[in-house]
């Protein structure tokens, strides 16, 4: 398969064009490291200012969307140790979290001194949603360029459950551990806007309601939440503007007792379901759902091209995919009501 000679995007990636040197249009449009570093500086300052303004005396400063994976572990450690923030960590157990990841989460929250909520939505409801969204195309093509449909479903639930919780508790920031390849710096800090959130959640609820009925409303905002517009938090994705180097991330979190699970696919350090998400996505769209992130990391100088290629070429263990598929099919039948 032909790939960009600078990043790793393949010829099957939507909208890609190569020039005579085999460099893709996305690499040509990239403004360079100096420009990126200036933006990062600007967003670091913005975060400092917002934190100074909204830091609470009593009560949590941030609700950390905490997967237990390497990036969110590192992010939470920086927020705690460098920014001295008071944090409530929220992990959503989608039924497919690696046992090692749950063990890691427990160690990390204890070590960092943060309170921790483990929220586990009904397995039958989630299983139905995962199977349905893996099969039907309910998401925009643009969104699916950067994540599998299964991941998108799960993240939708995570985002709205976190938002609900932050609004109810008056927590001013929701923090995420997206790598600098997953989310652009321009969206690394923004205030949640009730009107936009309403539109977004309606787009999720409409198709999902057909599969699981009114149960879906438990994971989204109610009219009551929308009535508390002044409590809508900021979303912050610190790794877009802080230092990020995967090797140093691994070193630092290992020192906290974090251990890499050996049962996940190479692109996840917490979720078993990811393996199936990747398989389905590759079959359906002809490109790896992580290639957008890895290409970004390479382009921006956060990762070696060879390393990204190795990650993309690593085969997913068919045993994990098989186990996940069986658990989903069983999960659908776990409840009769």
Using rule CB under 5 A, residue 308 touches Zn ion: no
Q: How far is the CB of 323 from Zn ion (least distance, A)?
A: 35
Give the CA angle between residues 185, 54, 196 to the nearest 5°: 55
- Pick the stretch among 5-13, 107-115, 138-146, 206-214 that binds Zn ion (CB under 5 A): 5-13
Q: Which of 122, 140, 118 is nearest to 217 (CA)?
A: 122
The contacts of residue 255 (CB under 8 Å, 6+ apart) are: none
Burial 201-220 (b: 16+ CB within 10 A, else e): beebbeebeebbeebbeebb
How many angstroms separate the Cα of 278 from the Cα of each of 288, 297, 323?
7, 19, 15
Instruction: State yes or no: residue 6 binds Zn ion (CB under 5 A).
Output: yes
Q: How far is the CB of 32 from Zn ion (least distance, A)?
A: 14
In the bound state with Zn ion, the residue whose beta carbon lies nearer, of 156 and 181, is 181
- Does the footprint of Zn ion cover residue 303 (CB under 5 A)? no
Of 2 and 191, the one with the shorter C-beta distance to Zn ion is 2
Q: Assess 312 for contact with Zn ion (CB under 5 A).
A: no
Distance (Å, rounded) from C-alpha 294 to C-alpha 286? 16
Sole window of 2-10, 54-62, 67-75, 224-232 interacting with Zn ion (rule: CB under 5 A): 2-10
Other C-beta atoms lying within 10 Å of the C-beta of residue 331 = 21
Binding region for Zn ion (CB under 5 A) out of 17-25, 224-232, 274-282, 303-311 = 17-25
Residue 26 CB, shortest distance to Zn ion, in Å, is 5
Q: For 271, which DSSP code?
A: B
Considering beta carbons, is residue 153 or 182 the nearer one to Zn ion? 182
**Cα angle 102-157-297, degrees, rounded to a multiple of 5:** 70
Q: Is 225 in the site for Zn ion (CB under 5 A)?
A: no
Residue nearest Zn ion by beta-carbon distance: 4
Sites for Zn ion among residues 22-51 (CB under 5 A) = 24, 27
Binding residues vs Zn ion (CB under 5 A) = 4, 6-7, 24, 27
């Amino acid at each position: 398969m032909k790939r960009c000679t600078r990043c790793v995007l393949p010829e099957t990636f939507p909208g890609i064009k190569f020039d005579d040197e085999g460099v893709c249009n996305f690499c040509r449009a990239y403004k360079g490291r100096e420009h990126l570093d200036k933006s990062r500086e600007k967003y670091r300052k913005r975060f400092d200012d917002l934190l100074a303004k909204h830091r609470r005396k009593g009560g949590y400063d941030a609700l950390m969307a905490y997967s237990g994976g390497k990036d969110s572990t590192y992010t939470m450690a920086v927020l705690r140790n460098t920014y001295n923030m008071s944090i409530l960590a929220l992990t959503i157990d989608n039924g497919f979290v690696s046992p090692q990841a749950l063990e890691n989460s427990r160690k990390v929250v204890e070590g960092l001194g943060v309170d921790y909520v483990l929220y586990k939505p009904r397995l039958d409801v989630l299983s139905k949603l995962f199977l349905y969204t893996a099969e039907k195309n309910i998401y925009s093509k643009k969104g699916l360029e950067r994540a599998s449909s299964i991941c998108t479903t799960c993240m939708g639930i995570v985002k709205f459950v976190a938002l609900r919780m932050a609004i109810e508790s008056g927590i001013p920031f929701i923090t995420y551990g997206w790598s600098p390849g997953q989310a652009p710096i321009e969206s690394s800090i923004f205030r949640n806007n009730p009107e936009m959130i309403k539109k977004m959640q309606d787009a999720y609820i409409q198709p999902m309601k057909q599969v699981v009925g009114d149960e879906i409303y438990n994971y989204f905002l109610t009219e009551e939440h929308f009535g508390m517009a002044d409590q809508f938090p900021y979303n912050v994705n610190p790794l877009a503007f802080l230092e990020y180097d995967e090797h140093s991330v691994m070193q630092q979190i290992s020192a906290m007792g974090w251990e890499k699970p050996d049962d996940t696919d190479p692109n996840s350090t917490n979720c078993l379901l990811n393996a199936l998400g990747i398989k389905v996505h590759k079959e359906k769209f002809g490109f790896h759902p992580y290639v957008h992130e890895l290409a970004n990391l390479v382009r921006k100088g956060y990762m070696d091209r060879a390393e990204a290629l190795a990650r993309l070429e690593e085969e997913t263990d068919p045993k994990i995919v098989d186990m996940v598929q069986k658990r989903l099919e069983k999960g659908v039948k776990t409840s009769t009501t």
